[in-house]
């Protein structure tokens, strides 16, 4: 009986162990480049299904406008029937519907760009969190080694107990920073997984693109000119101006003193002012995005130099400590400066990389 109970217990342990292994094997791994992640998010985003519905609806309205325009060609219209009838006959609403179709398509492109950039920020946010965790783990390893050396020296009567206590406190701080970084990384991964519509409870993200950057150069004047041909908001501004002119031309039939003409003229003037002012602001916005790249590059170069400086200061501080010129507390402070400088450099790299990516979107469809 006792032997049977032991056998059942061993079987239970085996089953539990096997179940744990199966769960571990069922953990799905997603290996993704940035473009893979963007594609995955867009494929699963229900907002883009509604965008397609909007395009279809705009195309339906265009078809109806063309039918109405065709039906009005054989009808004689009097001025007393109002400007709307003339607008139908002259194709104003056909043009308006054509703009509606094109704007729906361009709006979808802009929404894709906004979603892609937002996803890019989250993707590289995870990569930055990985870098921060790596830096804090390195700092923890350095603090732990320092403590071990001090404990050995203390056992030989070479250092004071207070130095050991300070080193222990440094280890605790480094461990807390590492644990916090690990939790932040987990949250960043879960936020990215949600944006990717990953529903698995257990998953692993392997992100293959890094925050390392490439040198950037641009023709601001040429890029701004190109943006005025491709951006969604510029298209809408120009379309509004074109339609205002179209309606003003139709209102000529009513005479310059008519209410129809006065209303159309006022709308035309307002559209011209809005078009000119808004394009200037768009140009300024693009310039601002370009300047953000330059600012980020300056910060990046400073952060790079700062890290090299802090690393050299640490090497000198180690020698000074061995010679008894500084305390272990001072050495620890210099050591922490290296970690801080590394994290600042990684942040600067990401800021620069995102600024370049954002500029690319700004000169195409706009964000």
pLDDT in tens, 21-63: 334 457 899 999 999 999 999 988 888 778 889 999 999 999 9
Q: What is the mean pLDDT of the chain?
A: 89
| Alpha carbon distance 325, 337 (integer Å) | 19
Query: For the residues 6-24, what does the mean pLDDT come to?
Result: 41
Query: For the residues 257-267, what does the mean pLDDT come to?
Result: 92
Environment class of 53 (CB within 10 Å of its CB; exposed 0-12, middle 13-18, buried 19+): exposed
| Alpha carbon distance 156, 184 (integer Å) | 41
| Alpha carbon distance 336, 341 (integer Å) | 9
Residues 6+ apart with CB under 8 A from 288: none
Q: What are the C-alpha distances in Å from 228 to residues 247, 276, 288, 361?
A: 24, 12, 16, 13
pLDDT band at residue 19 under the 50/70/90 scheme: very low
Which long-range contacts does 175-181 make (Cβ < 8 Å, 24+ apart)?
175/140, 177/136, 177/139, 177/140, 178/133, 178/136, 178/137, 178/139, 178/140, 180/136, 181/129, 181/132, 181/133, 181/135, 181/136
pLDDT band at residue 200 under the 50/70/90 scheme: confident
| Alpha carbon distance 125, 57 (integer Å) | 38
Name which of 12-21, 80-89, 358-367 the model is least confident about.
12-21
Query: For the residues 180-199, what does the mean pLDDT come to?
Result: 94
| Alpha carbon distance 358, 218 (integer Å) | 13
Express each pLDDT in 151-181 by its tens digit. Answer: 998 999 888 899 899 999 999 999 999 999 9
Q: Where are the alpha helices (DSSP H) in 207-258?
A: 220-230, 232-251
Query: For the residues 10-20, what does the mean pLDDT come to?
Result: 41
Query: For the residues 267-287, what does the mean pLDDT come to?
Result: 96
pLDDT band at residue 202 under the 50/70/90 scheme: confident
Percent of the chain with pLDDT over 90: 68
Environment class of 144 (CB within 10 Å of its CB; exposed 0-12, middle 13-18, buried 19+): middle
| Residue given tokens 């790079």 in the structure block | 304
* Domains of the chain and CATH, by start: 28-362 (1.20.1600.10)
Q: What is the pLDDT of residue 12?
A: 41
| Alpha carbon distance 258, 261 (integer Å) | 5
Q: What is the pLDDT of residue 254?
A: 84
Output the six-digit token pair for 134.
Answer: 């790596």
- pTM metric for this prediction: 0.83
Q: What is the pLDDT of residue 244?
A: 95
Helix (H) or strand (E) holding 282: helix 259-322
pLDDT band at residue 79 under the 50/70/90 scheme: low
Q: Which of the two residues, 367 and 291, has the higher pLDDT score?
A: 291
Express each pLDDT in 108-149 by its tens digit. Answer: 999 999 999 999 999 999 999 999 999 999 999 999 999 998
Q: What is the pLDDT of residue 81?
A: 73
Express each pLDDT in 317-330 by its tens digit. Answer: 999 988 889 888 89
Query: For the residues 199-213, what does the mean pLDDT come to?
Result: 90
Beta strand spans in the chain (E)? 28-32, 203-207
Q: What is the pLDDT of residue 80?
A: 62
Q: What is the pLDDT of residue 5?
A: 41
Q: Is the pLDDT of residue 6 over 80?
A: no
Q: What is the pLDDT of residue 360?
A: 94
| Alpha carbon distance 268, 246 (integer Å) | 9
| Alpha carbon distance 68, 335 (integer Å) | 77
pLDDT band at residue 15 under the 50/70/90 scheme: very low
């Amino acid at each position: 009986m006792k032997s049977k109970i032991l056998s059942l217990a061993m079987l239970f342990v085996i089953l539990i162990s096997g179940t744990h292994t199966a769960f571990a094997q069922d953990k799905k791994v997603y290996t993704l480049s940035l473009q893979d992640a963007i594609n995955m998010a867009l494929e699963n985003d229900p907002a883009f299904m509604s965008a397609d519905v909007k395009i279809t609806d705009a195309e339906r309205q265009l078809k109806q406008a063309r039918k109405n325009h065709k039906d009005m060609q054989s009808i004689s219209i009097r001025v007393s029937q109002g400007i709307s009838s003339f607008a139908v006959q002259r194709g104003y609403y056909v043009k308006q519907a054509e703009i509606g179709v094109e704007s729906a398509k361009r709006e979808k492109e802009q929404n894709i760009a906004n979603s892609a950039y937002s996803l890019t920020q989250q993707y590289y946010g995870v990569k930055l969190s990985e870098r921060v965790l790596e830096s804090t783990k390195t700092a923890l390893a350095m603090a732990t080694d320092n403590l071990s050396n001090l404990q050995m020296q203390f056992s030989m009567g070479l250092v004071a107990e207070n130095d050991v206590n300070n080193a222990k406190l440094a280890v605790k701080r480094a461990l807390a920073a590492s644990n916090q970084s690990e939790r932040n990384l987990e949250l960043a991964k879960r936020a990215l997984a949600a944006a990717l519509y990953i529903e698995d409870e257990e998953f692993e993200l392997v992100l293959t693109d890094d925050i390392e950057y490439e040198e950037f150069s641009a023709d601001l004047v040429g890029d701004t000119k190109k943006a005025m041909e491709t951006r969604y908001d510029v298209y809408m501004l120009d379309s509004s101006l074109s339609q205002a002119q179209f309606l003003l031309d139709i209102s000529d039939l009513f005479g310059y003193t008519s209410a129809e003409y006065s209303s159309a003229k006022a709308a035309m003037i307002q559209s011209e002012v809005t078009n000119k002012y808004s394009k200037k602001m768009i140009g300024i916005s693009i310039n601002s995005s370009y300047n953000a790249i330059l600012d980020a590059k300056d910060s990046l170069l400073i952060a790079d130099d700062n890290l090299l400086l802090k690393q050299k200061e640490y090497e000198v501080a180690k020698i000074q400590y061995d010679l008894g010129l500084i305390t272990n507390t001072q050495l620890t402070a210099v050591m922490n400066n290296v970690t801080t400088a590394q994290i600042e450099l990684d942040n600067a790299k990401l800021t620069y990389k995102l600024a370049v990516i954002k500029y690319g979107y700004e000169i195409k469809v706009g964000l």
